């Protein structure tokens, strides 16, 4: 998330896919606490807010984000 925010701040051409965590999620064999999930999702919300202010496209589906990135790349070729 920090790297994405950095590139947005640098004015780079960015497309984001932000997926919020669900309660009870297990990552690397460790179940995240309710507080941990809340903190991670809050950070995702802050990133989405930053991206929205800079007009960065945001998706919650990876396929849609990839399609957008491909369209942006094709447009840049013209």
Q: Report pLDDT digits (tens) over 5-42.
A: 999 999 999 999 999 999 999 999 999 999 999 999 99
Tell me, what's the pLDDT at 54? 96
Q: Residue 51 in contact with residue 14, Cβ under 8 Å?
A: yes
The counts of H helices and E strands in the chain are 3, 4
Rounded Cα distance, 48 and 31, in Å:
25
Q: Cβ neighbours of residue 71 under 8 Å, at least 6 residues apart?
A: none
Domain that holds residue 57: 2-77
Q: Which residue has the tokens 């496209």?
A: 57
Please state the domain count of the chain: 1
pLDDT mean across residues, the chain: 94
Predicted model pTM: 0.85
Give the count of beta carbons closer than 10 Å to the beta carbon of residue 74.
9
């Amino acid at each position: 998330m920090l790297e994405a925010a950095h590139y947005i701040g640098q004015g780079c051409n960015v497309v984001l896919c932000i997926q919020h965590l669900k309660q009870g999620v297990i990552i690397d064999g460790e179940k995240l606490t309710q507080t941990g999930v809340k903190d991670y999702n809050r950070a995702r919300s802050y990133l989405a807010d930053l991206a929205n202010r800079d007009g960065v496209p945001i998706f919650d589906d990876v396929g849609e984000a990839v399609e957008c990135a491909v369209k942006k790349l094709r447009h840049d070729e013209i």
